[in-house]
Structure 1
Amino acid sequence: MNRDLDALLDVAVGLAHRAGRLQLERRAALVVQGAKAHANDLVSDVDLASEQLLVDGLLRACPDDGLLGEEGTSRAGTTGWSWVIDPLDGTRNYISGTGPWSVSIALQEGDSTRLGVVHDPVAGETFTAVAAHPPRLGGHAVTARRATRLTEALAGVSYNPSPATKQRIGPVLATLLPRVGDVRRLPAALELAYLAVGRLDVGVVIGTHPWDVAAGLFLASQAGLVLTGPDGEATPELTICAAPQLWDDFAAVLAETDLLS
C-alpha cells in the first residue's frame, strides 16, 4: 500500500501539537490516577486524555491502521501499518514540574518505521523525520554540531526508574561520568531526538518500551548515528547510540560495564 508520508506527517504533527496544548492547559489541575508497573511509574488523567486525543485523530485519518499506545491502546488493524504512540513521555517530570516531557508518534509499516514525531510542548519544538530523509526541527533542516572527543561529549541517559533498572544504571553512570564532558538525564523520546539533532553526542537508553522509543530511534537512525543493543540491534530494553566519530571510544568505555553481557 502506497502512503503519502508527508501528508501523514502533517497529521501526526498537528495531533502532537493538540496533545501538547492540552497538557499545558490541564497541568495545574491534573489528577494522578495511580502507579502502573512500580511506584515511580505514574499515570495521570492528562496521560489518558492525551492518548484518547491521539487515537481519535489517527483513526479519523487512517481508520484501518493498527495502534499501540502506552496507556492501553492496542489494535491490530488490517493494512499492515501501525501507529506507536506515547502521549506523554516523561509523566514524572510533568507531574512534579522538574523537567521536560514530550508527545511521541511513530508510523510503522510492518517492522519498519516510516515516520516519527517528537514534540516538546514547553519549548514548542517539534522533531520530525520521514523515510529516506534526515531529521528536521520545526520543519527546517538541522545542522548538527557534534563533539569530536569523548571528553567533550554530552551524554544522554534514559532509564525506567524501577528498582532493578536503577541498580543496573548505577555502574554505567559511575563508569561514564569521568570519561565524558557531562551527562543529561532525559525521557527516552527527547534524548533520542536530541541525539538526532546534535544536542547530545552519545547516549544510553535502558529498560523502556516500544512506545517510548519508536519515534526517537527513527529520528536517530535517519540522522546517521550508530545504534546498537543486544545482538547488535537497538531495542527498547537497551539502546546505545553515538555519533560515528565517537563510536569506537564510547563503545570501549561501555565495554567496561556489563550492559551487553
Structure 2
Amino acid sequence: MPVVTRDLLAARDLAAELAIRAGCLQLERRDTLKMGAPKAHANDVVSDVDIASERLIVDGIHAAWPDDEMQAEEGNGRGGTSGWSWIIDPLDGTRNYISRTGPWSVCIALYHGDQPRMAVVHDPAAGETFTAVDGGGAFLNGQPIAASSGPPLAEALIGISFQPNVRTKTRVGTVLRELLPLCGDIRRVPAALNLVYQASGRLDGGLALDTNLWDIAAGALIAREAGVTLGGRAADYTPELTIGAAPSLWAELAEKARAITAG
C-alpha cells in the first residue's frame, strides 16, 4: 500500500461541510422526493434525494482527493490508488426520512487500509454534527462528548438497529423478547445514530444486526473515541453484529447479547 500522508483535520472539515450540505438538500427536497424501486428487499427503499446526496458528497471528495477510493451505498463509488477509502452512507434511515417518523443521518468515514481514521455523522433535522479523528476524541458541534457512566443493565437504555429483511426481523424478535425484560428500555434507531447516541451518553449501550459497513463505519469510530467499548461475535465488531456499551456495562451486555443472537 502506498504511504500517503493526510491532514485528517482537513478531511474532517470537508466531510462535515459536505454532510451538512447534503442534510440541507434533504430538508429542502423532502416534500418533492421521488421514490425508486426497492433494492435488496421491499423495506430497502431509496429516493432520488439519497442519490443526489451521494453525488454531492462523492463529487466534493473527488475534487479534493481524486486518487482516493469511495465506497458509496447508492452506487456512485469510485476506485482509488492512494490507500485511502471513503465509506459513505448519504442517508442512513431512509424509511424514517420519507415517512417523517424518526431521525436519519448523513455518514462519512475515512479509512486508511482497514483502519478508520476520521468520521462524521450529521443529523439534519436536529442540526447536530458528530465528528472524530483517530486518537483525537469525539465531538458534537465542536464540543467534546463521552460515553455514559454505565448504569446496571436493569436500568440501562439500549439502542437497537437492524436490516429490515424477513430473516433479520425474525432474529430481532428473539432479541426483543429476551433482552427487553433484562434492561431498562430499548429504542430503535438507525445504526449510525445508535452509535453516536452511545458516544454522547444518550444511550448506555446498543446492538446493530446485519447492517452494512457504511451503516456503522462512521458511528463506530465516533463511539470508540468517546470511550464506548465495541465488539461483536468475537472481539471485533462487524456489520453482522456490533455491540457497544459504556465500559462498566460492557461485560454484562456483551454476554447477554452474544447469547441471544447466537441462533
Same fold? TM cut 0.5:
yes
Secondary structure of 1:232's aligned partner: coil
Q: Secondary structure at the match of 1:161?
A: coil
How far is the alpha carbon of 1:253 from its aligned partner?
A: 2.4
- TM value normalised by structure 1: 0.96
Deviations 1:146-170 (A, max 9, x none): 3321111110000000000000111
Structure 2 counterpart of 1:146: 149
State the distance in 2 between where 1:104 and 1:252 align. 29
Secondary structure of the residue aligned to 2:221 is: helix
Write the letter of the residue equivalent to 2:99.
S
Q: C-alpha displacement at 1:57, in angstroms?
A: 0.4
Alignment counterpart, residue 200 of structure 1, candidates 175, 181, 203: 203
* Residue number among 18, 22, 25 corresponding to 1:22 in the alignment: 25
Q: For the Cα contact (< 8 Å) 2:122–2:130, is it kept in 1?
A: yes
Percent identity (aligned): 56
Which residue among 50, 58, 62 is the counterpart of 1:59?
A: 62
Structure 1 residues 63-84: Cα deviation after superposition (integer angstroms, max 9, x where no partner): 1100000001232201000100
In the alignment, which residue of structure 1 is the partner of 2:86?
83
Count of matched residue pairs: 260
- CA drift of 1:231 comes to 3.1
Amino acid at match of 2:222: L
Decide which moves more: 188-197 or 222-231: 222-231
Please state if 1:183 is matched with 2:186.
yes
Q: CA contact under 8 A between 1:229 and 1:260: conserved in structure 2?
A: no
State whether residues 146 and 200 of structure 1, in contact with CA within 8 Å, keep that contact through their aligned partners in structure 2. Answer: no
CA deviation digits over 1:222-260, x for unaligned, max 9? 122221113321011111111110112212322441x24
Counterpart Cα distance in 2 of 1:162 and 1:84: 23
Gaps in structure 2 of 5+ consecutive residues: none
Instruction: Tell me the equivalent position of 2:165.
Output: 162
Within 5 Å, give how 1:1-261 maps onto structure 2.
1-257=4-260, 259-260=261-262
Give yes or no for contact 2:138–2:146 (8 Å, CA) kept in 1: no
For residues 144 and 214 of structure 1, do their structure 2 counterparts lie closer, same or farther at Cα, with a shift above 3 Å needed?
closer
Q: Quote the Cα distance in structure 2 between the aligned partners of 1:145 and 1:160.
A: 26
| Cα distance in 2 for residues equivalent to 1:40 and 1:15 | 27
Q: Could you tell me whether the CA contact under 8 Å between 1:66 and 1:75 is conserved in 2? A: yes
Code of the residue aligned with 1:36 in structure 2: it is K
Q: Cα offset for 1:143?
A: 4.5
Q: Deviations 1:111-146 (Å, cap 9, x if unpaired)?
A: 001000000000000000001111100011125443
Flag the 1:114–1:256 CA change in 2: closer, same or farther, 3 A: closer
Q: Aligned partners of 2:65 and 2:58: how far apart in 1? A: 10
Q: Distance in 1 between matches of 2:22 and 2:51?
A: 11
**Contact map agreement 1:193 1:219 (CA 8 A) in 2:** yes
Q: Matches of 1:243 and 1:15 in 2, distance apart?
A: 30
Whether the 8 Å CA contact 1:226–1:242 is kept in 2: the answer is yes
Q: Match of 1:95, SS? A: helix
TM-score, normalized by length of structure 2? 0.96
Q: From the superposition, tell whether residues 56 and 255 of structure 1 become closer, same or farther in structure 2 (CA, over 3 Å).
A: closer
Q: Which runs of 5+ in 1 are unaligned?
A: none
Compare 100-109 and 225-234 and name the one that shifted more: 225-234
Q: Give RMSD over aligned pairs.
A: 1.2
